[in-house]
Structure 1
C-alpha cells in the first residue's frame, strides 16, 4: 500500500532527518570506508536563501531526502540525495530531484552541479535518466575517475 507523500523543508540538524543521514553514513562507510563527506559542509550551507534541505515524508516518517547548496552565483550543487533502503525502487529520488531543481530555479540558479561516487551505479543511472550531462567519460572505469561530476541546466521559471 502506498500513502501520500509530503515535502518537509527543514535542516540537516532536524531529528527527523537523522535516520536517513545515519543510513547514508552507513552506506558511505560500507562502500568507501568513510562517511567524512557528510560532515564536510556546515548545516547553514543547506539553508535558505542559498540552499535547501528537504525530506519526503510518508505517514510522517522520512522515506527520502536531499539538499542543495550554493556552488557559485548561478549554480546549485546537489548533495545528500537519498532514499531509505526500505523504500527504494519507487521513484522517490526522482521526486526529490524534481522538487530541488524547481526550488533552485525559483531562487535564480540556472545550473545544477553534482558529483556522485564511483561505487554508486544507482546514482549514476538516476542522473543519466533525468537529463544530467556527465562531465566524464562514461565508457571509462568509474574507479579510475573518482567522484563522477554531472551538470544540468535549469529552465528559467516564467514570471
Structure 2
C-alpha cells in the first residue's frame, strides 16, 4: 500500500514532475505538448521555483523508489489572459492578485486516493499565507474524465463557456476556489 507525502518540489523532483505532466497532456488531453499552452512544463524551475509567490508541489509515493512522484500541482500569480479567455475574466482575475492553480495531475495508478484534493488544499493554504492574493482561479477542460466533477466539488464555476458564450468559446469551464 502506497504511503504518500506532499512537499514543495525541489530541483531534484523536476524531471519526474515534468514526466507526470507530459504523460497527462499526451494521454488524458490527447493534445500532446503544445508550446503556447504548456511552456511552463519545460521550464518548471522558472515557472514555479524562481518566484516566492509561485510553487510546485509533488505527492511522493514513498514506497516507490523508481518513480516516486505520484501527483503534481502548481500555482502562479498570473490570471487568465484575453484572448483567448473572455475579457471580463481577465479583468476579474488580474495578474498579481490571482493565484492560478495549474497542472493538477495524478498518475493513473494513484488516482481516487485524495491526492489532488490534498494538493489543492495545500496550494490554497499557500495562497492564503502569501497575503497578496484576493482569489484562487483555474480553468479545466470538461472533456477530461472526472475533471469537471472534481473542480465543482472544490469550488464554484464562474463561467461555463459551452453554455455562456454564443460560439461555445474554447469549451472550458472557469472556476474560483475559496481562499480560506
Instruction: Please give the range of the TM-score, normalised by the shorter of the 2 chains.
Output: 0.7 to 0.9
**Cα deviation 1:2-38 (Å, max 9, x = unaligned):** 32423242369812313312211213552xx343122
Q: Structure 2 matches for 1:1-159, cutoff 5 A? A: 1-10=1-10, 14-30=14-30, 33-36=31-34, 37-39=37-39, 42-43=43-44, 44-47=46-49, 48-59=51-62, 61-71=68-78, 72-108=95-131, 109-130=133-154, 132-137=155-160, 140=163, 144-145=168-169, 146-155=171-180
- Whole-angstrom CA distance in 1 between matches of 2:101 and 2:139: 8
Could you tell me whether the CA contact under 8 Å between 1:8 and 1:57 is conserved in 2? Answer: no
- Whole-angstrom CA distance in 1 between matches of 2:112 and 2:97: 32
State the TM-score, normalizing by the size of structure 2.
Answer: 0.72
Higher share in strand: 1
Where does structure 1 lack aligned partners over 5 or more consecutive residues?
A: none
Q: Which consecutive segments of 4 or more residues in structure 1 shift more than 4 A?
A: none
Could you tell me whether the CA contact under 8 Å between 2:4 and 2:59 is conserved in 1? Answer: no
Where does structure 2 lack aligned partners over 5 or more consecutive residues?
A: 79-94
C-alpha RMSD of the superposition:
2.8
